Amino acid sequence: MKLIDVCKPKQWKTISTNELVKDGYPVFGANGIIGYFSDYNHEKPTLCITCRGATCGTVNKSLPYSYVTGNSMALDDLDESVIMIDFLYYFLQYRGFNDVITGSAQPQITRQSLSKIIIPDFDITIQKEIAQTIYDLEHLILIRNKQIEKLADLVKSRFNEMFGDIFENPQSKLEDHTELNPNKREELLNFNGDVSFIPMANVSENGKINLSINRNIDDVRKGFTFFKDNDVIVAKITPCFENGKGAPLFGLLNGIGFGSTEFHVLRPKNTVNTVWLYHVTMLSEFRREGERKMTGSGGQRRIPKDFISNFKLNIPPLSLQNEFAEFVAQVDKSQLAIQKSLEELETLKKSLMQEYFG
């Protein structure tokens, strides 16, 4: 059956931002709730498809008593005797709108283009079962993500408990305890094997790296940033720095790596632990100060080397840093198990979506 046979796609009046109020009915724009309004135009939950701009084709489900703006195509008057809203929501998410979107400079979806969409003709009972199965999987995925977030918060709390405010009356600079952006050493002169290669895209915002890429050292010796096991890398360009891209490095192929020139490399001296140092670079004080010290303009703003060299802090005893690193290692084991479960759930969801809608 055609989508336009079971609902009436409509673009409602768009309201300006100065019409939004502090308290009222939720307003759904192109990407979900954008504020509140004094009135509503949809009493029941309604599917809304972003119909213009970069996020064209995003599907949202409005809350009861909401105002849906003209930046989304509202699927009004859904015939719930033949189609269940949650089933349709999951189907449209799976199907996508690549063949429905028109325009290149300004992508858009029209009522006419939605006439291309054909919905699987399942009995309503089967639709409910499918929607419930996918919902249950998404709920488990949400739980796993929250568990990972809680473990990350646990590490932050432990850091604060063990070290307190390391910026109160600081006695040291990072340059006293690290070697910043070390040169390619003589140790590399006679090395001819493969090494790990880490582009910016392979570094996460939570200290994890993807080590799936290897290169022969002769291909990367020039034009890339050099680092070794036990170094810490910190993204220096906007918005990667602000987003928290960086990681402690362990398990590099042959203990050596090269990567993006947009990394600063901090090599710990014998007074600091690699894991502890990485967590220092993730502290809000470090990130905020780095943002203030950025140079350049637009998308080419970077944190200068001098900012890291001159960054002041107090260095706790190495034994205490090592104790913290051991705690982080135990948390990482728990995170790894949860992450594996999360990936299995996401794979199962993809498989079931393919089975139901493919």
Residues whose CB falls within 8 Å of the CB of residue 59, separated by 6 or more in sequence, listed in order: 47, 48, 49, 50, 89, 92, 93
Task: Determine, yes or no, domain membership for 152.
Answer: no
Write out the residue range of the structural domain in which residue 223 sits: 167-315
- 82 and 208 together in one domain: no
The count of C-alpha atoms lying within 13 angstroms of the C-alpha of 328, restricted to the half-sphere facing its C-beta, is 23
Number of structural domains (the chain) is 2
- 97 and 200 together in one domain: no
Task: Determine, yes or no, domain membership for 256.
Answer: yes
- 304 and 226 together in one domain: yes
Distance of CA 225 to CAs 129, 183, 211, 285, Å? 52, 9, 15, 26
Q: Please report the sign of the dihedral spanned by the C-alpha atoms of residue 295, residue 299, residue 305, residue 310.
A: positive
Residues whose CB falls within 8 Å of the CB of residue 215, separated by 6 or more in sequence, listed in order: 194, 195, 197, 258
Task: Determine, yes or no, domain membership for 159.
Answer: no
Task: Determine, yes or no, domain membership for 286.
Answer: yes
C-alpha 199/C-alpha 244 separation (Å) is 15
CA 304 to chain CA centroid, nearest Å = 25
- 20 and 76 together in one domain: yes
Write the DSSP assignment of 162-227 as a string of letters.
Answer: HH--TTSS--EEGGGTEEESPPPPGGGTT--SEEEEE-GGGB-SSS-B----EEEHHHHSSSSEEE
C-alpha 207/C-alpha 254 separation (Å) is 21
- 99 and 191 together in one domain: no
- 241 and 187 together in one domain: yes
pLDDT by position in tens, the chain (length 358): 999 999 999 999 999 999 999 999 999 998 899 999 999 999 999 999 999 888 999 999 999 999 999 999 999 999 999 999 999 999 999 999 999 998 878 899 999 999 999 999 999 999 999 999 999 999 999 999 999 999 999 999 999 999 999 999 999 999 999 999 998 776 677 788 999 999 999 999 999 999 999 999 999 989 999 999 999 999 999 999 999 999 999 999 999 999 999 999 999 999 999 999 999 999 999 999 999 999 998 778 999 999 999 999 999 999 999 999 999 999 999 999 999 999 999 999 999 999 999 8
- The CATH number given to whatever domain includes residue 84 is 3.90.220.20
Task: Determine, yes or no, domain membership for 38.
Answer: yes
CA 308 to chain CA centroid, nearest Å = 25
- 229 and 303 together in one domain: yes
C-alpha 5/C-alpha 87 separation (Å) is 16
Query: Environment class of residue 154 by beta-carbon count within 10 Å: exposed (0-12), middle (13-18) or buried (19+)?
Result: middle
Task: Determine, yes or no, domain membership for 60.
Answer: yes
- 194 and 310 together in one domain: yes
Distance of CA 176 to CAs 8, 180, 194, 228, Å? 67, 10, 32, 19
- 105 and 174 together in one domain: no
- 116 and 248 together in one domain: no
Task: Determine, yes or no, domain membership for 155.
Answer: no
**The two structure tokens encoding residue 342:** 């999360």
Place of tokens 């135009």: 41
- 23 and 111 together in one domain: yes
Task: Determine, yes or no, domain membership for 66.
Answer: yes
- 171 and 311 together in one domain: yes
Number of other CB atoms surrounding residue 334 within 10 Å = 13
